[in-house]
Amino acid sequence: MSNHNFKIGQSVLYSAGYGRGAARGVYTVTQLLPSEGEDCLYRIKSRAEPYERVVKQSELSRDS
């Protein structure tokens, strides 16, 4: 089982998969979710969007 690399409230860079280019950018982690296989899941929120997204840890990196 994997460990979460990011904390609630942390700013992260979301590098969305193919076809989701508009979604790329800086997000804030709002919730840690259970793992899906070997990849942890997170709920993230952007100031530019009215909704949250559920993403895999492999799609996130640290915001410098």
Predicted confidence (pLDDT) per residue in 18-61, tens digit: 555 568 889 999 999 998 888 999 999 999 889 999 999 999 99
What is the model's pLDDT at position 57? Answer: 94
Residue 38 DSSP symbol: T
Position 22 scores a pLDDT of 62
With CA atoms as reference, report the closest residue to 17 among 62, 56, 63, 61.
56
46 CB-near residues (< 8 Å, 6+ apart): 14, 25, 26, 27, 28, 53
Q: Give me the pLDDT at residue 31, please.
A: 97
Give CA torsion, residues 11, 44, 34, 36, to 10 deg.
Answer: -100
For residue 62, what is the enclosing H or E element? strand 60-62
Domain boundaries, the chain: 11-62
